[in-house]
Chain A
Amino acid sequence: MPDNRIQGTRRTAWLDDMRKSHSYEEMRDMFQRLYRDDAIQAINMLNDEKLSFATLHVLRPEIIKLSLWGSLSDWNRKTLEVEKDLLARRHPGRGMTGDELRAILKWMLQSGSDEVGLSEEYDAILDLAALLLIKEYRETDILPLLVDIIFRRHRMGLNTHDAEWALFESGTPECIAMIARRLLSQDARDVSMARRLLKFIPRPEQDDAAAQYQWVMQWLGRNRRYLAYTGESNQKCSAPRPFQVVLERKYLQRALDAEELLPEEEAAVAAFSQLPSEDKELLSEYSHYLRATGGAQWRRWMQSSLEEQIAAARRWQGVRYV
């Protein structure tokens, strides 16, 4: 089964054009008429490789009513089987390879994401497809698309609960930057949504969304390597912190995915962990600053006593915030 649905030169499928320019009922009627007039052409159009998942979904009742299952392409038949399993909350993909299932799920999301709010059922299918891709296949290519779905749904007041969770469950800090870009949107609804999702990032009080964007991106630049996913969502609390800075790692300037700590680093972390949280934040921030400005100075500072480190960091803090 070729996975060429999302590549190559695009022309839109005729049935997709009909879906976009007519109501779903009209489109279904039109398909029925087309089938009565010319069944072969109707089936060819249904099996058009450029057909989107949204149209296939809308036409599913007609496919069943007209008993077209046997005439469907292998791809369409398997896609509708996957859809049926998702709706029944069954794991899809019986009789398929993992790669086939992954390709179908990805196609459902990529070709189907231009429709937002087609129905609650349809949105649920896309959310479950995204969740499977992210949690089972660790697929991150779809994240920009998922962000787009979330913000478009939010504009329409639709449910974003599971899609937001899916996005953060990717565990990749890059989704922070994807959300932050919406702070630059001209649409106030995008800005308010971005602000809600990024509420966990400490920031000075400011109304200017562009300034907030700058702040978030700078914060991300300083902390990206030390961000750990926490699993918090709105299912648990009103202001979830999906990511937290692992201050011990930032203090050591050792990324979370770096190898195991050396014994002297373990000892430094043990002492650091005893400090009050304000001191931990200050030291980790100062460590990052020193490392970025000069390795030799950072190494000297790291070798000094904890008291000396704090004193130097406080002097820096005083200068920095004057």
Chain B
Amino acid sequence: MIVAGGQTLSTTPVFDGFVPDTLQADILKTLMNSSHTYRYESLSHLAAELKIRGSVVTASRDLAHSGLKFKVFRDSVANPDYWRRTPEGGFALRGDVLPSDAVLDIYQNGSKYGTECATAMLIVLYKAMLDVMPVDTFNRLYADIYLMDWKQIDRDLALYMRDSAADLLPGDARYFKNPDVDPLTPEWQGENVYYLGGGRYYGHGMGIADADTIIRNLNRHRKSGSTRTAYLDDSVKRQDYLLLSRYLKRGGG
């Protein structure tokens, strides 16, 4: 169920200047049919969530086809024209380039980059924000990008994690845990993914696949004699769409 601006939505809302595409319409349907009550300050708050979720899905699909390689942090590589590779294996934005250009370069020259799945999750988020925000706003908000694992999250990505969620929605960041991972392949201790809808996920190093395939692949990296399978854990990462709504481009899908 959706409650927006204090009103329960019983029919598909008409947004001012925004027409949801097929994916966004599916998300809307899931929200409306859910037994959970999703509360929004306004219709524009709801529209922001739909736009951002759609953008995350598109950015995920595009990154999957960008040529970005899978590399452990110690072997990570980045295009030095835009990024400085730090000694710990992260990518720090160079001071003389625009954040928007640097993020775009990862998508345009993916084969010049290689990193682990957690970093890829951040790359997707930045690209998703770039696609829904005016470029100037993006460059002002994300002037100091650092891509590593999750440990340094830009506050302006407004990302939070909860232990569980009522519904699985496209654009949700999820985590497949591999509790019996082989100690010699710690990079397969789990797989960060975005849910794309239709039972498909994007995880860097796995590509676009369903849950069973991801679990099967993780299980190949278990220690010998393991009886515990990898699994999709309940936690979910989402963004504060209300906070982000004030930065979005007006109109459009």
Contacts and interface: CB of A to CB of B under 8 A. Distances in A.
Interface of A: 86, 89-91, 117, 120-121, 123-124, 127-128, 131-132, 134-136, 156-162, 165-166, 196, 231, 233-239
A131 B150 CA distance: 21
Given A131-B183, A165-B186, A159 B192 contact: no
Interface stretch (B61-69, B82-90, B135-143): B82-90
Contacts of A160: 88
Nearest to B176: A236
B184 A234 contact: no
For chain B, give the interface size range.
Answer: 20 to 34
B74 A235 contact: no
Given A235-B118, A235-B149, A237-B235, 16 more contacts: A117-B87, A120-B74, A131-B183, A136-B183, A158-B87, A159-B89, A165-B186, A234-B150, A235-B117, A235-B189, A235-B190, A236-B175, A236-B192, A237-B175, A238-B150, A239-B161
> Sorted from nearest, which 7 A-B pairs have the closest CB atoms?
A131-B183, A159-B88, A238-B150, A135-B183, A234-B151, A238-B153, A120-B74
B73 interface: yes
Contacts of B153: 238
Given A156-B87, A159-B88, A131 B184 contact: yes
A165 B189 contact: yes
B183 A236 contact: no
A128 B184 CA distance: 6
A134 B186 CA distance: 13
A86 to B, nearest CB: 7
B223 interface: yes
Contacts of B184: 86, 89-91, 128, 131-132
Contact of A124 (B74, B116, B117, B118): B74
21 contacts: A86-B184, A89-B185, A91-B184, A91-B224, A120-B74, A124-B74, A128-B184, A131-B184, A132-B184, A135-B183, A136-B223, A158-B87, A161-B88, A165-B189, A166-B186, A196-B151, A235-B116, A235-B117, A236-B118, A238-B151, A238-B152
A127 B159 CA distance: 30
A157 B88 contact: yes
A231 B176 CA distance: 12
B179 interface: yes
A117 B117 CA distance: 24
A123 B87 CA distance: 12
Contacts of A128: 183-184
